A and B are shown apart, each in its own frame.
Chain A
């Protein structure tokens, strides 16, 4: 394995030696969020424009209305993103809809200065037209950063934690130590198997357990039982209360 494994998690080492992992978001989902924001802004312009036409023009005259409208559009175009990204949620409405948020590379919320910098540089990212520079830059940087992000040291990440759709069920299997020493990766695979097995059909579970026959030393349902026992042991090597406790996220095991 010469090349690094491709992954969406990007680890960042902080100043105090702690390593955190960022779930950075790529150009596709970000352009969707941008499209939503753009549509929202257009709707706001139409609504505000109609209010201006029907109420303001008669009250303060067309010139003043036009001027106010232009100031309003200026503020929206330059400060819409800054306002929302520097706010408590760190995301514009469009980004929130797509489950994204803006973060500093250190994992903290963006400061006002960072929000201003990354959004004012949209002008550069927009060049030579329609965000060509920004998207190309995003496609070819590890953390999917456009130029504004690179300057302001920010990333766009997924806001919600990964979905856990595993039902909580009880496992009835004898806890047992694996007969051989397993690598970290293999241990992780065993635990993953036990966590996600309830999502699969019985046949698929047995099929997978059969693949692990060199470890379980038994075919079919017996192998599945052994495999679950080993996974339980990995989760908690010592049986503290005599009987296996019901484990959260453990698979339904019918036999």
Chain B
């Protein structure tokens, strides 16, 4: 027995069938190819003018194909795998046993693969066979139907899958013009024959793949049914035990009479042990793994490239090398220039202060000389006369900041506030300018942030005292 029998849930029995088929799939395929493919060749030849019917006929004849895998599996289950010749000799008998009912009224039976072993292997006929199938179907008949449903679904969708997967690979001449076909609504004559042949071929591939599993699953379900109803697993075990015990008794008697002769049982046992050891050693745990690392080392001094390269290639190589070194040197020079240019970023702060550029924007105000009018005081007075207090003070404030930053080099930076500016100016040490700037800052902050008005007198004073004038000229 090469199958573990025990009462199983129906779907588990189906899985057992799949496992049986998977184990022998290669052998099954050779048998399938040698028996079923000729039949398909005949079918294709008969329907060579109407390929659209081929999938249907192939589907209809399925009960005939089922018999070969079943024949194989039923013998393989007992450890005897039938070979080519044996299968070929049995084939006509297998094919023609009950083939009319199988193709006619039993074709649409939902428990086809479940009932087939009872019909084919048990050698019953007619009413007795029907009765037998009915008995077995009490345990597992429903599962037989679910099995058929499951496998026909799988088959259908795998067929669609294979077709959709290979459709894009078809030559354009073979793919039908679907739009035209639906417009003409004439499916029979407008679909190209090559496309139909391709569809039939895909169907045959999928049937070849799936049908053995379907048969195997039905056979396993049949075995499970017999196991549950009749205790078939127990029966087989008892038969084996009986054979062993009677053989042992016979041997014992023989041994009593023939002394000094090594018992065949012992020899057999020794052989078995050696075989068992071999089998254990074959298991994956005893596999010896080797890790081999290959490293590719480019051979600069190999002879082959040199033999190939002429003077032309050499010159090209020199050129490329020169280009490479030019780029490297260029990069180094650029890096040095860049570092020198931006050395203030890397050198300590004390020296950087003297080089710091005067800020152009302070507190959101542009304080470049270019952004201010030529005569700031006059412009401020004009704005004042026009009633724009804020503009007037802003002109004065910006003007004074501009002067302080650019001429007096007061170290004001971008992030300074009004208070900070004032502090810097005081620290810079020009008494009159500092006093004036303090006065102006007070007025400006009040106008800008508190919206407090400035008096005419104060404004006049600010304008009159404007200290930021170059000697000998107005600014």
The 3 closest A-B pairs by CB, nearest first: A128-B165, A189-B237, A130-B161
Give a binary string over B413-451; 1 marks a CB under 8 Å from any A CB, 0 the rest. 000000000000000000000000000000000000000
Q: Hey, which chain B residues are within 8 Å of A132, CB to CB?
A: 158, 161-162, 165
Q: Hey, which chain B residues are within 8 Å of A199, CB to CB?
A: 228, 231
Q: Is the C-beta of A235 less than 8 angstroms from some C-beta in chain B? A: no
**Within the complex, what minimum Cβ distance (angstroms) separates A22 from chain B?**
12
Q: Hey, which chain B residues are within 8 Å of A31, CB to CB?
A: 150, 153-154
Q: Is the C-beta of B328 less than 8 angstroms from some C-beta in chain A? A: no
The answer to whether A144 and B241 have CB atoms under 8 Å apart is no
Q: What residues make up the interface of B, taking CB atoms closer than 8 Å to A?
A: 1-4, 6-9, 11-12, 14-16, 18-20, 22-23, 25, 79, 146-147, 150-151, 153-154, 157-158, 160-166, 209, 213, 217, 228-231, 233-235, 237-242, 244-246, 248-249, 285
Q: What residues make up the interface of A, taking CB atoms closer than 8 Å to B?
A: 1, 3-9, 13, 23-29, 31-32, 35, 98-99, 127-132, 135-136, 139-140, 142, 144, 158, 162-163, 180, 182-183, 185-186, 188-189, 192-193, 196-197, 199-200, 204, 208, 211-215
Q: Hey, which chain A residues are within 8 Å of B235, CB to CB?
A: 208, 211
The answer to whether B15 and A144 have CB atoms under 8 Å apart is yes
Task: Identify the interface centre among A127, A132, A185: most chain B CB within 10 Å of its CB.
Answer: A132
The answer to whether B249 and A214 have CB atoms under 8 Å apart is yes
**Within the complex, what minimum Cβ distance (angstroms) separates B246 from chain A?**
5
The answer to whether A128 and B164 have CB atoms under 8 Å apart is yes
Q: Hey, which chain B residues are within 8 Å of A99, CB to CB?
A: 9, 11
Contacts A32-B146, A130-B164 known; A8 to B12 CB distance under 8 Å?
yes
The answer to whether B20 and A6 have CB atoms under 8 Å apart is yes
The answer to whether B242 and A215 have CB atoms under 8 Å apart is yes
Q: Hey, which chain A residues are within 8 Å of B164, CB to CB?
A: 128-130
Q: Which of B14, B163, B231, B238 sits near A212, CB closer than 8 Å? A: B238
The answer to whether B246 and A214 have CB atoms under 8 Å apart is yes
Q: Which of B15, B228, B248, B285 sits near A28, CB closer than 8 Å? A: B15
Task: Identify the interface centre among A13, A144, A196, A211: most chain B CB within 10 Å of its CB.
Answer: A211
**Within the complex, what minimum Cβ distance (angstroms) separates A129 from chain B?**
4
Task: Identify the interface centre among A27, A131, A142, A185: most chain B CB within 10 Å of its CB.
Answer: A27
Q: Which of A3, A8, A130, A186 sits near B16, CB closer than 8 Å? A: A8
Q: Hey, which chain B residues are within 8 Å of A24, CB to CB?
A: 15
Q: Which of B11, B23, B231 sits near A6, CB closer than 8 Å? A: B23
The answer to whether B11 and A196 have CB atoms under 8 Å apart is no
The answer to whether B163 and A6 have CB atoms under 8 Å apart is no
**Within the complex, what minimum Cβ distance (angstroms) separates A14 from chain B?**
13
The answer to whether B2 and A158 have CB atoms under 8 Å apart is no
Q: Which of B2, B79, B147, B153 sits near A35, CB closer than 8 Å? A: B153
The answer to whether B209 and A214 have CB atoms under 8 Å apart is no
The answer to whether A7 and B213 have CB atoms under 8 Å apart is no
Docked Cα-Cα span, A12 to B238, in Å, equals: 30
The answer to whether A26 and B15 have CB atoms under 8 Å apart is yes
The answer to whether A129 and B163 have CB atoms under 8 Å apart is yes
The answer to whether A186 and B161 have CB atoms under 8 Å apart is no
The answer to whether B217 and A196 have CB atoms under 8 Å apart is no
Q: Which residue on chain A has the smallest CB distance to residue B233?
A: A192
The answer to whether A158 and B237 have CB atoms under 8 Å apart is no
The answer to whether A6 and B16 have CB atoms under 8 Å apart is yes
The answer to whether B242 and A7 have CB atoms under 8 Å apart is no
**Within the complex, what minimum Cβ distance (angstroms) separates B446 from chain A?**
53
Q: Hey, which chain A residues are within 8 Å of B217, CB to CB?
A: 28
Q: Which of A131, A136, A182 sits near B157, CB closer than 8 Å? A: A131
Docked Cα-Cα span, A176 to B459, in Å, equals: 128
**Within the complex, what minimum Cβ distance (angstroms) separates B402 from chain A?**
56
Docked Cα-Cα span, A8 to B12, in Å, equals: 7
The answer to whether B238 and A189 have CB atoms under 8 Å apart is yes
Q: Hey, which chain A residues are within 8 Å of B16, CB to CB?
A: 6-8
Q: Which residue on chain A has the smallest CB distance to residue B25?
A: A140
**Within the complex, what minimum Cβ distance (angstroms) separates B112 from chain A?**
15
The answer to whether B18 and A144 have CB atoms under 8 Å apart is yes
The answer to whether A29 and B11 have CB atoms under 8 Å apart is yes
**Within the complex, what minimum Cβ distance (angstroms) separates B161 from chain A?**
4
Docked Cα-Cα span, A245 to B180, in Å, equals: 82
The answer to whether A140 and B22 have CB atoms under 8 Å apart is yes
**Within the complex, what minimum Cβ distance (angstroms) separates B271 from chain A?**
14
Q: Which of A3, A28, A140, A214 sits near B150, CB closer than 8 Å? A: A28
Q: Which of A32, A98, A196 sits near B234, CB closer than 8 Å? A: A196
The answer to whether B11 and A7 have CB atoms under 8 Å apart is no
Docked Cα-Cα span, A31 to B3, in Å, equals: 25
Q: Which residue on chain B has the smallest CB distance to residue A132?
A: B161
The answer to whether B7 and A1 have CB atoms under 8 Å apart is no
The answer to whether B162 and A139 have CB atoms under 8 Å apart is no
Q: Hey, which chain A residues are within 8 Å of B79, CB to CB?
A: 1, 3
18 cross-chain CB contacts under 8 A: A6-B2, A6-B23, A26-B14, A28-B15, A129-B160, A129-B161, A129-B163, A130-B164, A131-B157, A131-B161, A132-B165, A135-B158, A186-B241, A189-B233, A189-B241, A197-B231, A208-B231, A211-B239
